[in-house]
Structure 1
Amino acid sequence: MSEEQPIIEARGLTRSFHGFVAVNKVDLRVRLGSVHALIGPNGAGKSTLFNLITKFLAPTEGRIFYKGEDITALRPDEISRKGMVRSFQISSVFPHLSVHENVRVALQARSGATYSFWKSDSRLDAFNGRVDELLDSVGLAAFAHVSAVELPYGRKRALELATTLALDPEVLLLDEPMAGMGREDIARTADLIRTVSRSHTVLMVEHNLGVVADLSDTITVLRRGEVLAEGSYAEVSANAEVQKAYMGGGHHAH
């Protein structure tokens, strides 16, 4: 992969639903090692675009490349094995296992250890050091023996992130990781993403422009399924069209 080649690239990505064009000829280039945010008002097509990139939807037109390889025809599980892993979709957490056990299960799954090995404690202990490292990295060390169901909401999200990191992804795809969070959890999750981004490329969907302000290297703003603006936070927040779209009326404008 050359310096210039993006780790993820979408070319002319389009998706129609019964004649409604949700995503229209979108080009996207995600740089290796960057935090790239997809934002836009409701109905902008950001979730559809995210579902296309993560292969949960097939494009009507267009291609998707990962490290220069055309992955347009691959299934979600195939791209996750290549290192593009989506978190915060359907909660991947087992509610009645402890936080520690949840992360250990994810590590075992990654290593291909089958169910029969779970009964042998010595096999499991091999994972414990890594579990502790992961819990520490997402601020959950103190919650290791709490069952997942008892965690506060923001901490559940941290556990989902830890189980995703256990899969050892190269690119982390986050779907509205701050949704439903209060200010304290948002700040904590932003710090988490910042930490993770030191060793991973991050592509995230976010509704709130302010949340991604000091987190993202590049922000792509969508409106009505098309790219409205792209650049740093300073660049996109100064854009009159972006201001209009965000100050209301953007998606009703003629």
Structure 2
Amino acid sequence: MSDYLLETRGLTKEFKGFAAVQNVDLKIQRGTIHALIGPNGAGKTTVFNLLTKFLQPTRGTIFYDGVDITRDEPAQIARRGVVRSFQISATFGHMTALENVRVALQRRLGTSYHFWRAERSLRVLDDQAMDLLEQVDLGSFARTLAVEMPYGRKRALEIATTLALDPALMLLDEPTQGMGHEDVDRVAELIKRVAAKRTVAMVEHNLSVVEKLCDRITVLQRGEILAEGTYAEVSNDPRVLEAYVGVEA
């Protein structure tokens, strides 16, 4: 078994001749938190879209747990244990926090699409849903409509629904975007906790969060890997400094 849960070789995505991602060789080690960082437009979210097959690569290969998944569809990727969040909050606003998590748990019952069934048929999932809410410090919000929850708590709810799918690899796209300092600290601590039993890859602009959480960092610029290493290594790389603040080496 490889040390790497996910690996790409020569991953490239072109749009009418423009290379949004070019020859990216990415290796995400099992049991680590791996960050993708870079200036706006560097190709970070495009890489996530390629990994989860919302986009098909123009060239290159993607391996997950040693298996070539390059041509898999998004549903197949999710069934393999790769689950992602998005930059924009994606909760069901007029359902409670408990109901949001319960929808994610329905997959375990094999009734994911049986929306006409009576609500009582789902109550067997309530204890599991409450346990997941407690794990992300949302127990007191169980009966609160998602639309009424503070933004930072909604992001925590998204992590709970992601955990409900029991992922081996979590892909978090800008998990602290738009948050105040208190929420950033709370969500960062939550990510650290849930990563104890799984692998996490994250796109993140907040470099203090990256420094605090991440074992390894890949820096993208113009769709290509500019640098890679620990936070100390990449933050002292003159090429990274130039990419971020325009200071020449």
Instruction: Indicate whether the TM-score tops 0.5.
Output: yes
Distance 1:90 1:77 in 2: 20
- Residue equivalent to 2:11: 13
1:161 maps to a residue whose letter is I
- 1:225 matches 2:223: yes
Partner of residue 173 from structure 2, selected from 148, 155, 175: 175
- Residue equivalent to 1:155: 153
Cα displacement string for residues 187-207 of structure 1 (whole angstroms, at most 9, x for unaligned residues)? 111011101100110011112
Tell me, what secondary structure is at the counterpart of 2:94? coil
Q: Which residues in structure 2 correspond to 1:59-138 (within 5 Å)?
A: 59-88=57-86, 91-114=89-112, 115=114, 118-119=117-118, 121=120, 123-138=121-136
Asked if 1 retains the 8 angstrom alpha-carbon contact of 2:6 and 2:64, the reply is: yes
* TM-score, with length taken from structure 1: 0.92
Q: Which residues in structure 2 correspond to 1:194-233 (within 5 Å)?
A: 194-233=192-231
Asked if 2 retains the 8 angstrom alpha-carbon contact of 1:110 and 1:166, the reply is: no
Tell me, what secondary structure is at the counterpart of 1:204? strand
Asked if 2 retains the 8 angstrom alpha-carbon contact of 1:214 and 1:233, the reply is: no
How much does 1:107 deviate? Answer: 0.6
Asked if 1 retains the 8 angstrom alpha-carbon contact of 2:87 and 2:177, the reply is: no
Tell me, what secondary structure is at the counterpart of 2:242? helix
Distance 1:91 1:76 in 2: 19
How much does 1:90 deviate? Answer: 5.7
Distance 1:8 1:196, change over 3 A: same
How much does 1:240 deviate? Answer: 1.1
Root-mean-square deviation (Å): 1.8
Distance 1:190 1:48 in 2: 23
Q: Which runs of 5+ in 1 are unaligned?
A: none
2:224 maps to a residue whose letter is E
Matched length:
248
Cα displacement string for residues 44-90 of structure 1 (whole angstroms, at most 9, x for unaligned residues)? 11111111111111111100000010000001111000100111356
* TM-score, with length taken from structure 2: 0.94
Q: Percent identity?
A: 58
Cα displacement string for residues 121-167 of structure 1 (whole angstroms, at most 9, x for unaligned residues)? 2x433212111110011110011111111001111111111111111
Asked if 2 retains the 8 angstrom alpha-carbon contact of 1:24 and 1:225, the reply is: yes
Tell me, what secondary structure is at the counterpart of 2:133? helix
Asked if 2 retains the 8 angstrom alpha-carbon contact of 1:92 and 1:163, the reply is: no
Distance 2:131 2:240 in 1: 41
Asked if 2 retains the 8 angstrom alpha-carbon contact of 1:34 and 1:217, the reply is: yes
Cα displacement string for residues 20-45 of structure 1 (whole angstroms, at most 9, x for unaligned residues)? 11111010000011100000001211
Q: Which runs of 5+ in 2 are unaligned?
A: none
